[in-house]
Amino acid sequence: MAGDALLWIAAALAIAGVAVLRLSWGRPVRSAPLNIAGWGALIAALVAGDFAAGEWGITVTVLVATFAAFAALAVAALKPARKARAKTVRTSHSGSDEVSPTGRSGWLTFALAGPLALGASLLLALAVRALIVSAGGAEADGNVAVLATVPIAWPTLSFALLMMPRRIAQFGWVLGIAAVSAPFLLLQGGPA
């Protein structure tokens, strides 16, 4: 009973940590106290998950945090981008100044950091599984490796993608990881 309550506390801390980080990162200037509080809540969630059920508790906590982050990204992608105040050009001619359209870059960023990064991470995890099984490891070990790789690779790749200033680099990383990992799907049956 106590373990279940602690696991629920870990899940609540994970959601709270993601919410506080989203609040901090949504401000024009990031708040150091909010960042510390958000990351602290996520670390406390992992510790609580570990005490509640060991590695299984950590896995559940990471999944809850990942789902909360996915939901926060989905909500942010639905909101229209903030329009920068257009500077008026004071010239003698009369004409309309062109304002750059906000476009669909929010949706593209969401697609890259969300489902596409997840797909590349899953292919990477399946490649790790194939390597373990083809090297003589048990299928159960390969399956656990998949469960461990995706929650680590997806947020790491998403974070890296969000920090990249150019779309070509973002697409290059996602497609590169997928292209390198995809051939290992042929080894999923294990050694002949």
pLDDT digits (tens, 9 = 90+) for 31-71: 889 989 999 999 999 999 999 999 899 999 999 999 999 89
What separation in angstroms does the CA of 1 have from each of 4, 5, 6? Answer: 5, 6, 9
The count of domains in the chain is 2
> Which of 67, 22, 13 has its CA nearest to residue 41?
13
Among 78, 93, 122, identify where a domain stops.
78
Share of residues in the chain with pLDDT > 70 (%): 84
Q: Do 109 and 48 share a structural domain?
A: no
The secondary element (H helix, E strand) that includes residue 4 is helix 2-25
CB atoms within 10 A of CB 108: 15
Q: How many residues does this entry show for the chain?
A: 192
The secondary element (H helix, E strand) that includes residue 122 is helix 117-134
- pTM for the model: 0.53
Q: Following CA atoms 40, 60, 126, 132 in sequence, which dihedral angle do they give, to the nearest 10 degrees?
A: 90
Mean pLDDT value across residues 147-156: 90
pLDDT digits (tens, 9 = 90+) for 95-146: 433 333 444 577 888 889 999 999 999 999 999 999 999 899 888 888 899 9
Owning domain of residue 179:
105-187
